[in-house]
Structure 1
Amino acid sequence: MEKEPIAVQGIKITGLRRYPQSLVQQELKKVHQAQTFGALLEEIDAATQNLNQTDLFDDVKTSIGGADAQGVHVTIHLSEKKPYKLKVGATTSGAADEVRYEAAGTLRGFLRMGELATATVTKSPKHGLELAFGLRRPVATPLAVLGLAESIVSVDVEVGGREAPWAPATSSTPGRRVDGRAVRCACAARDGSRRLVVEVARRVGVDDDAFSESTKCALSYALRADGRDAAAAPTDGACADASVEVAGLGDAGDARFVKAEGALQNHIRVTKLQNGFVALGGVARVGAALPLFGNGVLDLAMPDRFYLGGPLRLRAFERCGVGARSPRARGAPLLAGDATALPAVGGALLWAASLILSAPVPGDLGRHGLRALAFLDAGGLLAPGARASLTSLMAETRLSCGLGLALAPAAFARLELNYGWVLRARPGDVAKGLQFGVSAAFGS
């Protein structure tokens, strides 16, 4: 039936109140061009996914019917989200100076052009005021060669301090924060599985002077090919990701490097149970940074390096817990053995792999997505300037294994609760047995 020839005679769009029909029609161009029933289903699925990514609709439903001598008719029914959203809250780590107050607002379609505007204000006694603004809208772009002819274009601006990714909060210590004078502006075009970003960032230290001022002007491109049965809890299919970032073209900024990263995962169903499948999944990831144009010395600032460790990247190790730690520049002296209070050095070469065997737990819980899993993880980092060889790669490889539970509620996120054992570590590594992690998809 999938190869049965068809012709799409017409597409009807219902449910629009604040947005123009052209906003939806540009996502349905390939639906019109489908020539087989299988191709029609694929294009409808892709269009539905793109419409959901706009964050303008609560629900997107599609029906196919009315087949006649001229062809089939497709109906798209949309349920729009509220035109505004306001969220106010506070978080704390327990210390009086670590209370953070946050207010976030979203406006949808205030110009009736399908745009989405966001603003977030965060205030804390320790880090002062932080601001973040975003604006995005689906538009046609002259980037067809990159697969971005019909894209969601967004502009994001961040001002003020935020958690430094190389020194995140742990169970025993608060995270380091980028200095409040830091500014980041990014303009992105995204179309389904492809994304192009132009970024300008002024990075200003952290609260312990772990790195000095620097400016990055970068261009990055990422793409994904996804054939999995589900993103958050896959049991079948494969997925490949690739990205490249170039910083310093035209001598713009202080950062000058080429950074590439790729990942591949595959999942197979081992056997069928009453409430689901036993599945075996494998993930491999590699990343490398090189000097721009392949010459000179690679001088990677800490924000541009690779970091490894955490409940979803290398289990049984603390977040960013793999590799050497940098000396403390100033502040209170460390307690003996308190390595988590030191920021991670990171690396210029990263490799990681995971092998996971999972099965639904017995009963209705398993039928609703709760899975038990056993994992074997491996990975490592090479510091900037270190020579890559088989001997050094083997020497820097860490190993861990463990058991856990995974849940994908409504298939929009993946939650993991794991307990792991470190099989192989290096001096400076920080282990953590019990971990909880949240991600948008498996392997992300």
Structure 2
Amino acid sequence: MEKREKYSLETVPARVNKIVVKGINKTKDEFLQKKLQTIFKAENVLQMFILCKAAETELKRLDIFKSIQIVIDTSKNVDGDNKYDVLFNVKENRWLYGGAHTTFGGDNNATMVGSLALPNTFGRAENVRLEYNRSLKGDHGGAFRFSKPLNGNPDVRFSTSVYEMNLEYPWSGFKEKSRGINMDFTFPSSLGKHCLRWEGIWRDLRALSRTTSFTVREQAGHSLKSSLKHQFTRDERDAPILPSKGALFKMEQEFAGLGGNVEFFKHDMELQFNQKLVLDTVIQMSLAGGVVKNPNPNEEIRINDRFFLGGPLTLRGFNARGVGPHSDENALGGETYWAGGLHLYTPLPFRPGKGGFGDFFRSHFFINAGNVYNLQSDKSVLENLKGLSDEFRLSYGAGIVLMLGNLARMELNYVVPLRAQARDSVNTGLQFGIGVNFL
């Protein structure tokens, strides 16, 4: 038998003679040229395949085409061998489409979002979107959003929004109407993802009912906030909802006072670490904390800018916003907080439906701790730290977790608070939670 000679695609020379894109109606030619011109740099067949695939991947991430098909053929009527023509058969997204989906917030609330979008609005991967949302608890609002990748890079993006929201906070006894505008600049770095945001927002705070405490009523009225915010995220987890390995680090700084009548410095941080153990068991450690301070010591932080803690998504064993200072059963929040948790996730006993529906369930054992505290200007840093740590809350429990795909997760736990303060709103026994981000 004749032995066949082995060779690598790297040794087969190739030159791209031309690139043709068929199916274009809206997308600008010069925009596509920038995305595809690197294919001409291919010097062999392997490089040509890799560069074509990379261009396809980046075009898909821009979300301007419904489908992309690549055809590579030898070039005809061209002198010399190893010349190729590359054909991109594409189908653009519809010029207008609408839809509806459900999101889950941090207060155990589901929100229906309806939207109309103009994808690839001006032919360079821009997106214009009109949204209306309404939650099961009656919160509602709308927004007009525009986003655009800079220089055609899907990772570097400018976006802006104009919005109105009408929200109710029954745990704190107030409702708030807000109208605002923001501008975002999102970009990656070697460490993670950054987002710079400017936001201007007018807020109208009102008492929710006749039982709203006088302390909350004192803060009713209008406020105008202009702030600059930086968000940094490094997410190395293998899944966003119920990861089995990897770490998450989130950090946010905000400075308000670039105009308007609201001033503060705010810093918030979250850490999460996941490690897979034997028999598909996962241990998770989480820690979060934040501090907000008005540069003017004679003015306090408004209630709608403070930190709150408590509820099935943060500190289990307490009602929503149930930890910290209260006035007539209305949660007032605090200027600083910390919270941590140690979790153990295991498959259900006997693991029913292994490899199928049963994989969406987990047993859950946990310990949570945390505190909300108001900084005292007449006390030293050490005294404030002592106050933050002395009155910490502690709870433990067990339950079942159900993953809702990559959208959210549900928890049903039996919780026992071990440490609580007299002013806290405690929830002993069964507690249900649904959301995306759990502590």
Ranges in structure 1 where 5+ consecutive residues have no aligned partner: 34-40, 63-69, 91-99, 142-147, 170-174, 328-338
Q: Which structure 2 residues correspond to residues 245-260 of structure 1 after superposition, within 5 A? A: 245-249=254-258, 252-260=259-267
Q: Distance in 2 between matches of 1:184 and 1:320?
A: 25
What residue is the counterpart of 1:437 in the other structure?
434
Deviations 1:383-416 (A, max 9, x none): 2547553431233311111223334444343443
Query: Relative to 1, partners in 2 of residues 1:403 and 1:196: Cα closer, same or farther, differing over 3 Å?
Result: same
Determine whether 1:229 maps to 2:227.
no
What residue is the counterpart of 1:268 in the other structure?
275
Q: Distance in 2 between matches of 1:288 and 1:133?
A: 31
What residue is the counterpart of 1:331 in the other structure?
none
Q: Distance in 2 between matches of 1:76 and 1:234?
A: 37
Q: Do the aligned residues in 2 keep the contact of 1:233 with 1:442 (CA within 8 Å)?
A: no
- SS of residue in 2 equivalent to 1:394: helix
- SS of residue in 1 equivalent to 2:388: helix
Flag the structure with higher strand content: 2
- SS of residue in 1 equivalent to 2:326: coil
- SS of residue in 2 equivalent to 1:418: strand
Deviations 1:130-159 (A, max 9, x none): 442222121249xxxxxx995221111222
Query: Relative to 1, partners in 2 of residues 1:127 and 1:261: Cα closer, same or farther, differing over 3 Å?
Result: closer
Q: Which structure 2 residues correspond to residues 197-212 of structure 1 after superposition, within 5 A? A: 197-208=197-208, 209=217, 210-212=219-221
Q: Do the aligned residues in 2 keep the contact of 1:257 with 1:298 (CA within 8 Å)?
A: no
Q: Which structure 2 residues correspond to residues 416-435 of structure 1 after superposition, within 5 A? A: 416-432=411-427, 433-435=430-432
Q: Distance in 2 between matches of 1:405 and 1:61?
A: 44
Deviations 1:354-396 (A, max 9, x none): 1110023312357643222111111111125475534312333
2:226 maps to a residue whose letter is: C
1:374 maps to which of 365, 369, 372: 365
Q: Let me know the Cα RMSD of the aligned residues.
A: 4.9
Deviation at 1:434, TM superposition (A): 1.5
Determine whether 1:184 maps to 2:180.
yes
Query: Relative to 1, partners in 2 of residues 1:231 and 1:160: Cα closer, same or farther, differing over 3 Å?
Result: closer
Q: Distance in 1 between matches of 2:233 and 2:94?
A: 31
Deviation at 1:297, TM superposition (A): 3.8
Q: How many correspondences in the alignment?
A: 377
Q: Distance in 2 between matches of 1:262 and 1:140?
A: 31
Deviation at 1:119, TM superposition (A): 2.1
1:351 maps to which of 325, 338, 342: 338
Deviation at 1:196, TM superposition (A): 0.8
1:195 maps to a residue whose letter is: C
Deviations 1:74-104 (A, max 9, x none): x9999866543435799xxxxxxxxx99854
- SS of residue in 1 equivalent to 2:389: helix
Q: Do the aligned residues in 1 keep the contact of 2:335 with 2:374 (CA within 8 Å)?
A: yes
What residue is the counterpart of 2:158 in the other structure?
153
1:105 maps to which of 105, 113, 116: 116
Q: Do the aligned residues in 2 keep the contact of 1:417 with 1:437 (CA within 8 Å)?
A: no
Q: Do the aligned residues in 2 keep the contact of 1:48 with 1:60 (CA within 8 Å)?
A: no
- SS of residue in 2 equivalent to 1:281: strand
Ranges in structure 2 where 5+ consecutive residues have no aligned partner: 1-9, 42-49, 71-81, 103-110, 209-216
What residue is the counterpart of 1:144 in the other structure?
none
- SS of residue in 2 equivalent to 1:233: coil
TM (norm. structure 2) is: 0.69
- SS of residue in 2 equivalent to 1:206: strand
Deviations 1:410-435 (A, max 9, x none): 43434433332222212332233311
What residue is the counterpart of 2:388 in the other structure?
393
Query: Relative to 1, partners in 2 of residues 1:278 and 1:254: Cα closer, same or farther, differing over 3 Å?
Result: same
Asked which structure has the greater CA Rg, the reply is 2
- SS of residue in 2 equivalent to 1:248: strand
Determine whether 1:84 maps to 2:96.
yes
Q: Which structure 2 residues correspond to residues 51-200 of structure 1 after superposition, within 5 A? A: 82-87=94-99, 104-121=115-132, 130-140=141-151, 151-164=156-169, 167=170, 176-179=174-177, 182-192=178-188, 193-200=193-200
2:290 maps to which of 287, 293, 296: 287
TM (norm. structure 1) is: 0.68
Query: Relative to 1, partners in 2 of residues 1:191 and 1:415: Cα closer, same or farther, differing over 3 Å?
Result: farther
Q: Distance in 2 between matches of 1:236 and 1:30?
A: 36
2:412 maps to a residue whose letter is: L
Q: Do the aligned residues in 1 keep the contact of 2:408 with 2:434 (CA within 8 Å)?
A: no
